Amino acid sequence: MNFVNFHLGPGGMLRGECRVAGDKSISHRAVMLGSIATGMTRIRGFLEAEDAISTLNAFRAMGVDIRRPDQGEVEIQGRGTRGLNAPESPLDLGNSGTSMRLLCGLLAGQEFDSLLIGDPSLSRRPMQRVTRPLALMGGRIDTSGQGTAPLYIHGGRHLTGIEYELPEASAQVKSCLLLAGLYAEGMTSITEPAVTRDHTERMLRGFSYPVRRQGNRVSLTGGDSLIGTEIEVPADISSAAFFMVGASIAPGSEVLLRHVGINPTRTGIIEILNQMGADMELENVREAGGEPVADIRVKSANLKGIRIPQELVPLAIDEFPVLLVAASCAEGETVLTGARELRVKESDRIQGMLDGLLELGIDAIASDDGMVIRGGRLCGGEVDSRGDHRIAMAFSIAALRANEDILIRDCANVNTSFPGFVEMARTLGLKISSEESRQ
């Protein structure tokens, strides 16, 4: 079995400009909605990474004519909400939790049965957070004894809309239920304990499907049609976050990150870094494909530890691995609470980050839903990424402030969200190399 390891030299700075890969969340949703719309959907800026390709291949397996992708351009001839075909084999979603959870909702309303599988990491992630509310709607999904994949989705079920209060803020669960609601009789309403990313609601409107929001409650009524459209996918703020933190912590740095999505449900990373004292400016703010975008200029700054406001946690949930690296370089103490969701990502990111930070000499203590970090001096060492792409990239950025080399093991999954990360990081000044090993 081949493993990819990253080798990082200590120190350095980031300088230059770049446009990071397309937004993964938006790429997933564009393929899903384009496939069940009527007419042609054209996508520009599509993320050609393993997770998004897993979604694309799943819909191809259900009979959707998807042309390319080629340099981020995709054309989808939609088949309508009832036009998908039964797949001839299990739909393998690789490492993509977004694909699996959202497809549960979309496939629960189909006339055919389907089976969802994934890699070992995805097969360990909890799926009852979506299968239980779908059962309240009339869906039936069989899981493993541990509530994980493989997932057998029974077709031909009569779905009815429900009023559902999310026990924890989760854009994936909300989106799953909205997609099921497209096929349900009556209204489906989801109330969030805190606002989460709203790409699904925005994109449904872009496909001419009516969605209503009142405060933290979002609703739609089943039975309407989606109409094909054109979508421009902005650069992914979750990918840009690594260079935002890198430029902030490495003295002498200045980077310009172009065409980054700044959807207000995703800008927790900006707000948290600003509260820590980052030197950051949004330039050329505009709208592209229904999503706000901007060029983000970041210069090095002396960061301060803070107590992270809990209302910002859902708005930065994917960025916390690298935000915890920022905290390790900040003066004083940073306190994160209310982030239990990090325990059920591609890995247990709280434990993974804790182990890595301790290995690199940082004083940190974990709790069930967060961490306390006292900023200090980063040493060199060997870190296990646990096959988690965001942990691997976060510790790559940590090398900018380390005093010795860092070796990061098990980094192959970086390609699930950010193909070309190593090359782009090296161009900006990170002392990084990648090598395959056989274990």
Select from 203, 232, 261 the last residue of a domain.
232
**In 3-state terms, what secondary structure has residue 111?**
coil
Q: Are residues 282 and 386 in the same domain?
A: yes
Measure Cα distances from 33 to 103, 151, 182, 346 in Å: 11, 21, 11, 24
Q: Are residues 29 and 77 in the same domain?
A: yes
Please tell me which residue in 119, 198, 295, 318 is annotated as part of the active site.
318
Structure tokens at 430: 């990170």
Q: Is there a catalytic annotation at residue 355?
A: no
Instruction: Per residue of the chain (439 residues), give pLDDT as tens.
Output: 568 999 999 999 999 999 999 999 999 999 999 999 999 999 999 999 999 999 999 999 999 999 988 889 999 999 999 999 999 999 999 999 999 999 999 999 999 999 999 999 999 999 999 999 999 999 999 999 999 999 999 999 999 999 999 999 899 999 999 999 999 999 999 999 988 999 999 999 999 999 999 999 999 999 999 999 999 999 999 999 999 999 999 999 999 999 999 999 999 999 999 999 999 999 999 988 778 999 999 999 999 999 999 999 999 999 999 999 999 999 999 999 999 999 988 899 999 999 999 999 999 999 999 999 999 999 999 999 999 999 999 999 999 999 999 999 999 999 888 989 999 999 999 999 999 876 5
Q: Are residues 205 and 253 in the same domain?
A: no
- Number of structural domains found in the chain: 2
Round to whole Å and give the CA distance between 376 and 308: 18
Which amino acid is present at 359? E
Round to whole Å and give the CA distance between 82 and 100: 20
Q: Are residues 13 and 51 in the same domain?
A: no
Instruction: Give the domain range for residue 372.
Output: 2-22+234-438
Q: Are residues 194 and 262 in the same domain?
A: no
Q: Are residues 253 and 187 in the same domain?
A: no
Q: Are residues 40 and 146 in the same domain?
A: yes
